[in-house]
Structure 1
């Protein structure tokens, strides 16, 4: 079936990125499979992360179907777009339907995008991973595709105002080599290996990031362990629970 909505949306996103004068540094796009199913797994630090993850798959001419919370699909604007792009709604109270939907898509050769931290990390460090991405890959017999984003939190993230002006922000992305999802390996063990690989890619992206905070008021987007003023993981967890 022809993709009538997804390609034009990508075109609009690229125009927006050009207008914002974002500076992209993307490495590893050759690791995105040209055909067949895969589970793309990324860290999650901003509201626009799914757009950037999808952009990393475009050199391989692939479209990524993301699993996203159901409320996004109920919105009068985003809902019709998400459904037309064949993204997958996730009802956290009844997640099996979304799991079956994703499994079917993987077996038909689609790339499914998952943020295994489930929510945005307000500390901008990796949270614990849910095992759903690994279980999907194991059951569908497809590889896991780890990747990491850095800089996207500066555009729009939880607890901070949007900065969608022409700020010339750099966006760094790293895509790792596919990981086999052996059904014989315990899912918890494979999930930890996957998290470790995403952590390596995240650290590589952070090292490559070309700018540093401009002053004391510009340290909020840098993790505490790197000298910034983002909340430490325990503090971020407390903030999230309060919300």
Structure 2
């Protein structure tokens, strides 16, 4: 797959990281295979997760093809970039095409990035996972690499203004590959993936260098003032209702 757009975008991102003096800590990068297809399952807490998620694979000299909302491919600015980097548009009303494209990428030996929660978590804890990740891995015969991001929510997330303050710590943790076969029950495999990532998230939060009590970006379970998972579900439902009313 020819990449004329991706390398300059990576170079621009690295420059931005230096300008912001982000304190990025990457662990588990040895789990990213140097060749061959694999799915990278990432928690979703920010609008910039795909940028930092892709950065986690760079030590292995790999580029990640992300499954992303189709609307990003229609935007006059992001559209050419998304297509040029060979990301995968996802239309939630017609998901078969994106699923098939992802399988083709995996068969061709690409890394495909997915967000099993589908949408950003307002609580910054893990939401329920969709089963598509493990079903895709089983069908393609590739491993799932769990990845946890932390600190990205402080930059740009739902319900809060953008804040690109300098010197901010960012954590990127990659776990050991998880094998899923066609014989595995998708629900059980999804629960195992979520449980693994929940443990990784807990470790990542506890190891994060900043833990200010009452911080809006810290989960309530860790002494922060972020919405609880129950409150986040209510906010998500209200958001969906507003969108439905707007479409009508």
Fold-level similarity (TM above 0.5) = yes
1:127 offset after TM fit, Å? 0.4
Give RMSD over aligned pairs: 0.9
Aligned to 2:172: 173
Displacement of 1:2 in angstroms is 2.9
Distance between the aligned counterparts of 1:211 and 1:94, measured in 2? Answer: 42
Partner of 2:97: 97
- Give the match for residue 225 of structure 2: 229
> Aligned pairs, how many?
239
Q: Compute the displacement of 1:3 (Å).
A: 1.1
Moved more, 54-63 or 197-206: 197-206
- Residue-by-residue CA offset, 1:44-83 (whole Å, 9 max, x unaligned): 0000001111001001010000000111111110011000
Shift of 1:165: 3.3
Unaligned runs of 5+ in 2: 240-248
Q: Distance in 2 between matches of 1:208 and 1:25?
A: 11
- Give yes or no for contact 1:45–1:120 (8 Å, CA) kept in 2: yes
Q: Secondary structure at 1:222's aligned position in 2?
A: coil
SS at match of 2:160: coil
- CA distance in 2 between partners of 1:182 and 1:99 (Å): 17
Alignment of 1:200-219 (within 5 A): 200-213=199-212, 219=215
Q: Which runs of 5+ in 1 are unaligned?
A: none
Task: Give the TM-score normalised by the residue count of structure 2.
Answer: 0.94
How far does residue 30 in structure 1 lie from its aligned partner after superposition?
Answer: 0.3
CA shift for structure 1 position 164: 1.5
Instruction: Report the secondary structure of 2:24's partner residue.
Output: strand
Deviation, structure 1 residue 242: 1.1
- What's the CA shift for 1:173? 1.2
Helix, strand or coil for the counterpart of 1:199? helix
TM-superposed deviation, 1:41:
0.1
Q: Distance in 1 between matches of 2:228 and 2:164?
A: 26
